[in-house]
A = this chain, B = another copy of it.
Amino acid sequence: MSKVDRSKVDRRINKTREAINKALIELMSEKNFENITINDISERANLNRGTLYLHYSDKYDLLDKCIKDHLSNMLKFCMLSKPGEERLNVSNSPLPMFQYFEEHFLFYSSMLSNKGITCFREQMNLVVINGITERLKTGEINHGHNKEVVVQYMASAFVGVVEWWIKNNMPLSPQIMAQQLWDIFDGNYSLVGEGRIPSGS
């Protein structure tokens, strides 16, 4: 008569998943996804092949979950700075985002540069769109622009810039990138109801 608590996840599970994800990302930075075998992954992760199948049904399932996991964390990170609060100062500029991408460079580099995996860019775009949409829920646009259009515009611009930055091995610092992007956005819109930021005149 027992049955233990089990409310928290067994730490072995996390260790295993982390090892597998790390191995996959490493391998994807080295070769084409299609050429990576389950054997490669389990060897690199230093665990039994059978263990991998306890968590993922095949390598496509693994890739899928790996992407969803990372993008979900990215979105979570973005949402930490609450929408509609202190949005016009530099402290809430895109800087944390670029620092985030810098920290997870290996992942985003692997995903964006790897041949034979087309799905990633679209998934990332989708997540960014959802994120921006969420943030714009409270602070409404008041320039007479269609919200959908603005969201698409911003998401595409952001993802495109990030993709360029990552694919080119981050030639500029996160600070510079954030400043540049902030300036461009500023030239277009201010994102909350206060309207354009008076610049000079």
Contact = CB atoms under 8 A, between A and B. Distances in A.
Interface of A: 11, 15, 46-48
Contacts of A46: 11, 15
A48 B46 CA distance: 20
Q: Which 4 A-B pairs have the closest CB atoms?
A: A11-B46, A15-B46, A11-B47, A11-B48
A20 to B, nearest CB: 14
Nearest to A14: B46
A162 B48 CA distance: 41
Nearest to A46: B11
Contacts of A47: 11
A174 to B, nearest CB: 29
A11 B11 CA distance: 17
A47 B11 CA distance: 8
A27 to B, nearest CB: 19
A15 B16 CA distance: 12
A11 B45 CA distance: 12
A86 to B, nearest CB: 37
Contacts of A48: 11
Contacts of A11: 46-48
Nearest to A10: B48
A46 B9 CA distance: 13
A100 to B, nearest CB: 24
